[in-house]
Chains A and B, each alone.
Chain A
């Protein structure tokens, strides 16, 4: 064959496959044609498409027609004689080592026959293995995605985020993902472990408003960063130049998606956009375009501003140790160990404490790779995942797979009795033990391969459902992923290993003399193993089922919690942006209140349901007469006079704000506060009534407690109550909550939208329903519940199938015995008890083993929730009863059928 290194060639492996597969007398022509087409396509379609088409064509050739080998006697390599070949068959075996392939062929043939012969067993095994495999494959893809966070950054394991722990004495009171703006520069000056740093300042949580010509848009994930950001996070510039980038104020960089959305082109360098401010607006020049953020990063970006813009236009100061709203990432120098850095950081914190830069706070470093699964601080850039549930699901998936393997081993060894005679005969006629083993392993390989194909089909079919269920990004590919096929291979290998070898050894070890003499009996050892495997399987099933029950109960319980606020019929709309928006808030409120269906309107700094991250936090508050200073974390928000009524919050003592109250921050001498019960607890005031009129030291100023409200859940009831301090503000700066008396959601929305757009024509209308915002807090739980529920169902199904197979087999072995018992006079009930006793006993043992384990597992899981269900007996009894019921159902049909059978039929054959 010619070798032409300069010319494009089809993929080597495909050629090999073809050469190996296609009958030699056809190979030349087929391959020639394929090559010819390939070279034509290289010119027409390019090398990639041509190669793909080549592979496709080769795969099409994998048919029996092309594999038919030529007669060994006739000319092998050359082309056959020309002329009509009417009656000539092509299917005489040709191969270099007939003995070997003949044997293989024979093994496969027998294996196929065995599988076909025992259709129901094969189907049970096939179905079990395929679903087990499919589940394991899907989950492993999911787990892999969750673990892949930040992998797109080459420097990921050198990048550390600096965060703040608020200490109250020796204990951590709260953890904040953000730090003070000057920290990064100072740390990098004082610690030579730091090679580089970038500050990342989020603009206007939760979303920034941008203005392009006279249109306003809401954009989230807008950050002001240092120029070092691009190299640390490996963002190349698609447009623009790195020279002097982000050293001056008012520079902006868009992501590709943003540029295409708002400008319909990537060539946006030199164009401008604005960010409206309280006074005027900031004019930004676009200096570059970066690629979109990877889907698996905690720091997703839409737009970046140069950090100096922060200092000039957004009120940040280079040396501000009072507000910490800045994410800070540092790049460790080479050869710096994690431990070394942690020690150095601790020393640095101590210096800061001595210099009074920090007060009862500690700077903590965390690897960015740990953020997604392990970090649950306040003010994270996005809600993070949970390592525990990810690994839990992985474990469950493997248990499902193991359960399927257990079925296989159980059924195969149980059936060994049937095959004992076959194997005895084989041995007598001269089979070696090795050959018999090979035969049995071949069967396993065959079945597993079929299961593998089926599993891949299942994965392809379930992909989109799964992606939605598990909350994966939409374009998540499974089948196009090399790792997927690797895991298919590994799983098949493991499953062949686990399911093939034990039966092979058991079956091949039969003593032919005993077997053929006919006094071969069931081995005690085998049945013990089988029983323990069934126990194992059902213990798993039970644990999963109880856990699933607990999950459903807990999530349902959380949903039914009294939130302390009434969230129905309440729409929330964001404050308007744009030139003349501010004076209109009073008129806006009046207009809304004139509507027939509107009951109340309230302006507030944030609203419950958005989560505590939307609240401001502070530690510097104490009762004026407090003996000992504490450093608890308090959450601050502003409300107006109608907030408490509208939200249905109960006022326990004191008064609501009224029109005479002076707005929160303007009054430095007599600030009025309404606090919740949790705040009172931190201050050590036992009764609400005693708090009224007490003085509070608030950032160096005096404030008076005016009222106390009952605790309410600011975020999902999953979290404990937080201490909330309300101050008065009548203006429409952040959110307006509108409570309707009735009407459909569409009507409510239409009313609000119409008035909002009439009042604030330039501003984007951004709204949400309060109850749906609370619902979002359950999303992670819902997903976990769904994925876990599906897995559990499959585990149960597979276990029951296995039991069904075993029961069918056992009963069929005892048909004759049952006939005799019936003739002698056993009642149907007697027989049923006799047949079911074994299985029920086995399953009862697994219930006994499973329940204590379950108790520990469930207890452990529930301990993560602040509000949780009580563990009652029925939470365990119901699943146990259900398992028992399932067992009876799966063994029932066959058993009852056999017990009712006319003994004449079962006894006649002898």
Chain B
């Protein structure tokens, strides 16, 4: 299998799911994303991404409880799979390597 590439939003969503200690479904993911990035994502974008991650095997899902707020509709709760965790770790390592590759003081010289 060729190496899995995650899009930016996919990565963000995966991280949000991984970071969460409570039940994760569409709405909280959307809200977290908004809080963390300041950008507005639509629910459709969030759902599409969640399902895509599930298809790729990084998330697993189960059917969760309904509330009156939801008009009695059930939630699809997502949780991180081991595969998902591995991918996150890979990404982090890759990023760290890249960060380490930046020559010392270069950013400082740019006034950052």
Mark A residues whose CB is within 8 Å of B. 1-2, 4, 26, 28-37, 39, 56-57, 60-61, 63, 65-66, 79, 82-86, 88
Complex interface: stretch among B12-20, B38-46, B86-94, B103-111 = B38-46
Complex contacts, A30 vs chain B, CB 8 Å = 26, 43-44, 47
Q: Which of A2, A60, A88 contacts B45 (CB 8 A)?
A: A60
Q: Which B-chain residue is minimally distant from A79 (CB atoms)?
A: B63
Bound-state Cα–Cα, A26 to B54, Å: 13
Residue pair A35, B48 in contact (C-beta under 8 Å):
no
Residue pair B44, A63 in contact (C-beta under 8 Å):
yes
> Distance in Å from the Cβ of B18 to the closest Cβ of chain A?
16
Residue pair B27, A86 in contact (C-beta under 8 Å):
no
Residue pair A33, B69 in contact (C-beta under 8 Å):
no
Q: Which of B60, B74, B81 contacts A29 (CB 8 A)?
A: B74
Residue pair A88, B68 in contact (C-beta under 8 Å):
no
Bound-state Cα–Cα, A168 to B109, Å: 93
Q: A56-B42, A88-B55 are in contact. List 14 more A-B contacts (CB 8 A).
A: A28-B74, A29-B74, A30-B47, A31-B70, A31-B71, A32-B26, A32-B66, A33-B75, A39-B69, A60-B45, A66-B48, A79-B76, A82-B62, A84-B60
Residue pair A86, B57 in contact (C-beta under 8 Å):
yes
Complex contacts, A63 vs chain B, CB 8 Å = 44, 48
Residue pair A33, B62 in contact (C-beta under 8 Å):
no
Q: Which B-chain residue is minimally distant from A29 (CB atoms)?
A: B76
Bound-state Cα–Cα, A60 to B30, Å: 14
Bound-state Cα–Cα, A799 to B30, Å: 52
Interface range, B side: 20 to 34
Q: Which of B25, B48, B68 contacts A33 (CB 8 A)?
A: B25
23 contacts between A and B (CB under 8 A): A2-B68, A2-B71, A4-B68, A29-B25, A29-B76, A30-B26, A32-B66, A32-B73, A33-B25, A33-B47, A33-B70, A56-B42, A57-B42, A57-B43, A60-B44, A61-B43, A61-B47, A65-B44, A66-B44, A79-B74, A82-B61, A84-B60, A85-B54
> Distance in Å from the Cβ of B68 to the closest Cβ of chain A?
7
Q: Which B-chain residue is minimally distant from A85 (CB atoms)?
A: B55
Q: Which 10 A-B pairs have the closest CB atoms?
A: A32-B73, A33-B26, A32-B70, A60-B44, A29-B76, A84-B57, A60-B42, A61-B44, A2-B72, A82-B62
Complex contacts, A39 vs chain B, CB 8 Å = 69
Residue pair B71, A35 in contact (C-beta under 8 Å):
yes
Asked if B95 lies at the interface with its beta carbon under 8 angstroms from chain A, I say no
Bound-state Cα–Cα, A651 to B74, Å: 95
> Distance in Å from the Cβ of B2 to the closest Cβ of chain A?
14
> Distance in Å from the Cβ of A5 to the closest Cβ of chain B?
13
Mark B residues whose CB is within 8 Å of A. 25-27, 30, 42-45, 47-48, 51, 54-57, 60-63, 66-76, 81, 83
> Distance in Å from the Cβ of A11 to the closest Cβ of chain B?
14
Bound-state Cα–Cα, A35 to B70, Å: 5
Bound-state Cα–Cα, A28 to B26, Å: 12
Residue pair B26, A29 in contact (C-beta under 8 Å):
yes
Bound-state Cα–Cα, A381 to B32, Å: 60
With most chain B CB atoms within 10 A of its CB, the pick from A2, A28, A33 is A33
Bound-state Cα–Cα, A35 to B26, Å: 11
Residue pair B44, A57 in contact (C-beta under 8 Å):
yes
Bound-state Cα–Cα, A29 to B25, Å: 9
> Distance in Å from the Cβ of B24 to the closest Cβ of chain A?
12
Q: Which A-chain residue is minimally distant from B58 (CB atoms)?
A: A84
Bound-state Cα–Cα, A63 to B27, Å: 19
Complex contacts, B63 vs chain A, CB 8 Å = 79, 82
Complex contacts, A32 vs chain B, CB 8 Å = 26, 66, 70-71, 73-75
Residue pair A1, B48 in contact (C-beta under 8 Å):
no
Q: Which B-chain residue is minimally distant from A56 (CB atoms)?
A: B42
Complex contacts, B60 vs chain A, CB 8 Å = 82-84
Bound-state Cα–Cα, A56 to B66, Å: 24
Bound-state Cα–Cα, A82 to B62, Å: 6
Bound-state Cα–Cα, A29 to B43, Å: 11
> Distance in Å from the Cβ of B3 to the closest Cβ of chain A?
15
Bound-state Cα–Cα, A39 to B51, Å: 24
Bound-state Cα–Cα, A88 to B60, Å: 14
Residue pair A65, B43 in contact (C-beta under 8 Å):
no
Q: A29-B47, A32-B71, A57-B44 are in contact. Are A37 and B30 (CB under 8 A)?
A: yes
Complex contacts, B72 vs chain A, CB 8 Å = 1-2
Complex contacts, B25 vs chain A, CB 8 Å = 29, 33
Residue pair A84, B54 in contact (C-beta under 8 Å):
yes
Bound-state Cα–Cα, A66 to B46, Å: 12
Q: A57-B42, A57-B44, A65-B48 are in contact. Are A31 and B73 (CB under 8 A)?
A: yes
> Distance in Å from the Cβ of B90 to the closest Cβ of chain A?
18
